Chains A and B, each alone.
Chain A
């Protein structure tokens, strides 16, 4: 019998970690990921997991300790947010480049300055090129399930890349929801025993990790890493099929909501999808053919799936909860446009909305306004401004 527990997103993450029972967790608490580190420390202290918990002095050290632990050949996890992720930066690339299957819960929060502890995607989006697989979760249930799923993705022999499981700071991390749990034994069976390939501590088969790699081989190793990310998409789809069988869910790289006959759609990530779904329902009742596209796996970018989802649209709005400060729009918009431009014969008129920075609420009214604009664009085929902002006093 599976239980339903009242859990915050953070506690959903730490409960999944308890069931996974990783060998090493090296972490430094930072708002709003603090409760993951705090509650998992308690789990270890209470003997409910036999993890080696390493309370390091900074996030740079946390990720460094994770790299060392993972290279030695053990299952390794961590959690962080915002400035913590930023402090991990150089080591994030090292974890991915060394092909270490580390799993991290990243509770998305704004980056300083100005200092702000609330939810936006600046941290995760900034790390989109670090070589980590990125999964964005809508609610605590997804955080719990994707936390478990991520183990299989990271450790798949054809993938061997670190995985970042993202959730929205406070909105998801601190709101209590009913989370349906799997049995401990079932999770143990699903994630299985980690059997490392060529680990550092196999003294009978000595291996050098992290040697200097110059003009003659660096490019080949980076190509190999990039190819692993490209190939991982197919493997993730296979693993979703296995996970769906295990969980009874319908996880895919990209979730489509009422998209079968949709003429206009909003594409978004994480908790905003919940609000968008409500608005889509309202518009559908009025006979407006609205839909929603949710990108669950952002890295590897599901180019074909996004292009296919947008194929028959008359207008599309992409929501970005982070500004690239590139002079143009958000990161998700750029990737979505690349997909449409390259793969679709018909170029759907697309607009970008940057919203919700520093935890600014996005409500139904804002989403309705965006849909209203899409209705106009669908009618006229004319886009007034590509880059727009929602909910900011300009």
Chain B
């Protein structure tokens, strides 16, 4: 991302664009990533409820995967899963 100069920034550190935190790919911080075993998933959505970064994708009531651009790999989803169908896999860097 190209960095702006002082005179091109809004004053006082204000951010004028709503929702621009989405552009900040916190997924880069991750050491371990959650991987879903769909065959065991009962779609209880505990992972979706507990995810602190809203990074669990759900479509029509069913878990479909993770937003790896923003998932920080905290592992809460795997911990909370009653069926233990989310595994935390080491990221290869």
Q: Please report which residues of chain A, range 178-229, place their CB below 8 angstroms from some CB of chain B when the two chains form the complex.
A: 198, 205-211, 213, 216-217, 220-221, 223-225, 227-228
When the two chains form their complex, are residues B16 and A207 in contact, meaning their CB atoms are under 8 A apart? Answer: yes
A228-B18 CB under 8 A given contacts A216-B3, A220-B5, A221-B6:
no
Say if the beta carbon of B93 comes within 8 Å of chain A.
no
With both chains docked as a complex, state the minimum distance between the C-beta of B51 and any C-beta of chain A, in angstroms. 21
- Which size class do A's interface residues fall under? 20 to 34
Say if the beta carbon of B61 comes within 8 Å of chain A.
no
When the two chains form their complex, are residues B18 and A100 in contact, meaning their CB atoms are under 8 A apart? Answer: no
When the two chains form their complex, are residues A198 and B5 in contact, meaning their CB atoms are under 8 A apart? Answer: no
Which one of B7-15, B36-44, B68-76, B79-87 contacts A?
A: B7-15
Bound form: Cα–Cα A208–B14 in Å: 6
- Size of interface on B: residues with Cβ below 8 Å to A: 14
Out of A98, A208, A227, which one reaches B6, CB within 8 Å? A227
Out of B3, B9, B11, which one reaches A160, CB within 8 Å? B11
Out of B3, B12, B16, which one reaches A221, CB within 8 Å? B12
Q: Quick one: closest B residue to A210, CB to CB?
A: B13
When the two chains form their complex, are residues B12 and A97 in contact, meaning their CB atoms are under 8 A apart? Answer: yes
With both chains docked as a complex, state the minimum distance between the C-beta of A197 and any C-beta of chain B, in angstroms. 8
When the two chains form their complex, are residues B9 and A224 in contact, meaning their CB atoms are under 8 A apart? Answer: yes
A228-B11 CB under 8 A given contacts A206-B18, A221-B6:
yes
When the two chains form their complex, are residues B9 and A220 in contact, meaning their CB atoms are under 8 A apart? Answer: yes
When the two chains form their complex, are residues B13 and A213 in contact, meaning their CB atoms are under 8 A apart? Answer: yes
**Chain A neighbourhood of B6, CB < 8 A:** 220-221, 223-224, 227
When the two chains form their complex, are residues A217 and B9 in contact, meaning their CB atoms are under 8 A apart? Answer: yes
Bound form: Cα–Cα A216–B6 in Å: 11
Say if the beta carbon of A99 comes within 8 Å of chain B.
yes
When the two chains form their complex, are residues A209 and B14 in contact, meaning their CB atoms are under 8 A apart? Answer: yes
List 12 interface pairs A-B (beta carbons < 8 Å), by A numbering: A98-B12, A99-B11, A160-B12, A209-B14, A216-B3, A217-B4, A217-B9, A220-B4, A221-B6, A223-B6, A224-B6, A224-B7
